[in-house]
Amino acid sequence: MFDVEKKDLIILNLLQKNSKVSIKQIAEESESTTANVYSRIKHLESTGVIKKYVALLDAPKLNRSIVALMLCQLVLEAPQTKNNVLAEISKLPEAQNVYLVSMGDWDVLVKFKVNCLSALKECEDRMRSIGGVNAVSSYMVLEVAKETTELKIL
């Protein structure tokens, strides 16, 4: 666990809501000087607390409205097989999240966003073709109730 001060949490909370917020505005809301906010942000970046700044895209507006979760069962329980499969699945450009899970017979959970069912079928076929994969099961998301990148830190 990284030791983070209260002012750092305020800064992080503001940045994760809007990474384009100005240092001046952060300084006002955190009751700090702009120089102090600037140095704290640089420290948070250099220590890896802030990994990167990104634009969050509206997937349906970019014709990526089909969201699916795929479960993957591995052939072997050897750590290198898991690592190899996770690495190969992570290379799939449509895979947004790849998790090693504990779900009974299933070992890996992957979230995909694609533009059509044939693209989803291609993703499933590519997952099945990865060495060490025994079975794949797909689940379509019918409605997204909540999707966020924000961490509750305050």
Within the chain, all domains assigned CATH 3.30.70.920 are found at 59-140
- Helix/strand/coil for 92: coil
- Provide the pLDDT for residue 4: 84
pLDDT at 23: 97
Nearest 5°: the CA angle 117, 98, 136 is 50
Q: Can you tell me the distance from the alpha carbon of 23 to that of 107, in angstroms, rounded to the nearest whole number?
A: 43
Report the distance separating Cα 60 and Cα 114, nearest Å.
9
Q: What stretch(es) of the chain map to CATH 1.10.10?
A: 6-46
Report pLDDT for 1. 63
Q: State which CATH number among 1.10.3470, 1.10.10, 1.10.40, 1.20.120 fits the domain covering 6-46.
A: 1.10.10
How many helices (DSSP H) and strands (DSSP E) are in the chain?
A: 5, 4
Q: Alpha-carbon distance 14 to 47, whole Å?
A: 18
pLDDT of residue 76: 72
pLDDT of residue 143: 94
Please tell me the distance from the alpha carbon of residue 126 to that of residue 8, in angstroms, as a whole number.
43
How far lies 23's CA from each of 6, 20, 52, 53, 146, in Å? 17, 9, 17, 15, 29
Can you give the pLDDT at residue 77?
A: 66
Q: Are 110 and 97 in contact (CB under 8 A)?
A: yes
Q: Are 114 and 66 in contact, with CB atoms under 8 Å apart? A: yes
Q: Phi and psi at residue 114, in whole multiples of 5°?
A: -135, 175
Residue 78's pLDDT is 66
Q: What is the pLDDT along the chain (154 residues), one digit of tens a residue?
A: 677 889 999 999 999 999 999 999 999 999 999 999 999 999 999 999 999 999 999 999 999 999 999 999 998 766 678 899 999 999 999 999 999 999 899 999 999 999 999 999 999 999 999 999 999 999 999 999 999 999 999 8
Question: What's the CATH architecture for 59-140?
Answer: 2-Layer Sandwich (3.30)
pLDDT at position 96: 97
